[in-house]
C-alpha cells in the first residue's frame, strides 16, 4: 500500500492485486477534464500534461476527492457522446480496468448509462494498451525513469464478463 491510496502501489503485476477503489459510490460524481475527441491531456490541477497525436475516443475525467494509486484523483472514462470540459455528472460504474503507470497502481473506472458491450470492452482494452505505449514513450522523451506502465486487465467481480 502507498500513502496516496489503499491499493497496492508500485510494481503491482497482477489484476488480482487490484480492488474496487474504497469509497467509490456505484454512481460517482465525475468531473470531465478531457472531452471525447480532445487531443489535450490535463493534469489534476488543470494544466496541460501533453498534446496527443490522436484524439481520445472517450470522455476522460476524475472523481474529485478520491485519490488513485498515483496520487492524482481517481481516473474515470465516461462512455457516450462528447461532454464539455468542466462538466460534472453522476454516472453509474460499469467496470474498472487495472492499469500500471510508472510502476504504480492507477485504476481506471469506467462509467456509462448503459451496460458494457463486448465492443466497449475490446475498445477500452485496445485504447489502454495503446495509451500505455504512448506513456512509456513520453516518459523516455522526458527523461523520466519509470517502473512498468501497462494495461493489466478488467477487475473481476467489478466488471461483468470475462477478464
pLDDT confidence tier of residue 42, bands split at 50, 70 and 90: confident
Q: What is the pLDDT of residue 10?
A: 52
| Closest alpha carbon to 34 in 69, 85, 76 | 85
Question: How far is C-alpha 133 from the chain's CA centre?
Answer: 15
pLDDT tens sequence across 102-157: 888 889 999 999 999 999 999 999 999 999 998 888 888 888 767 788 999 998 76
Least confident among 6-10, 38-42, 62-66, 78-82: 6-10
Higher pLDDT, 109 or 49: 109
Higher pLDDT, 123 or 46: 123
Q: What is the pLDDT of residue 50?
A: 79
State yes or no: pLDDT of 32 exceeds 50: yes
State yes or no: pLDDT of 3 exceeds 70: no
Look up the CATH superfamily of 15-154.
Inorganic pyrophosphatase (3.90.80.10)
42-56, 79-93, 142-156: which has the highest mean pLDDT?
79-93
Rounded Cα distance between 126 and 133, Å, is: 11
pLDDT tens sequence across 57-66: 999 999 998 9
pLDDT tens sequence across 4-30: 444 444 544 455 566 667 788 999 999
What residues does each domain of the chain span?
15-154
| Closest alpha carbon to 112 in 104, 128, 123, 101 | 123
Query: What are the DSSP E strand ranges found in the chain?
Result: 29-34, 40-42, 48-51, 59-67, 73-78, 88-90, 93-101, 104-105, 108-111, 150-154
Amino acid at each position: 500500500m502507498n500513502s496516496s491510496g489503499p491499493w497496492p502501489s508500485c510494481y503491482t503485476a497482477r489484476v488480482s492485486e487490484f480492488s474496487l477503489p474504497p469509497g467509490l459510490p456505484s454512481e460517482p460524481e465525475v468531473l470531465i477534464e478531457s472531452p471525447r475527441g480532445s487531443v489535450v491531456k490535463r493534469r489534476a490541477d488543470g494544466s496541460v500534461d501533453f498534446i496527443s497525436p490522436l484524439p481520445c475516443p472517450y470522455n476522460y475525467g476524475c472523481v474529485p476527492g478520491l485519490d488513485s494509486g498515483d496520487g492524482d484523483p481517481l481516473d474515470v472514462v465516461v462512455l457516450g457522446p462528447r461532454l464539455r470540459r468542466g462538466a460534472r455528472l453522476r454516472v453509474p460504474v460499469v467496470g474498472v480496468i487495472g492499469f500500471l503507470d510508472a510502476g504504480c497502481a492507477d485504476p481506471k473506472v469506467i462509467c456509462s448509462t448503459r451496460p458494457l458491450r463486448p465492443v466497449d470492452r475490446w475498445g477500452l482494452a485496445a485504447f489502454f494498451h495503446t495509451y500505455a505505449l504512448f506513456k512509456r514513450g513520453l516518459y523516455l522523451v522526458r527523461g523520466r525513469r519509470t517502473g512498468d506502465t501497462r494495461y493489466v486487465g478488467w477487475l473481476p467481480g467489478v466488471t461483468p464478463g470475462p477478464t
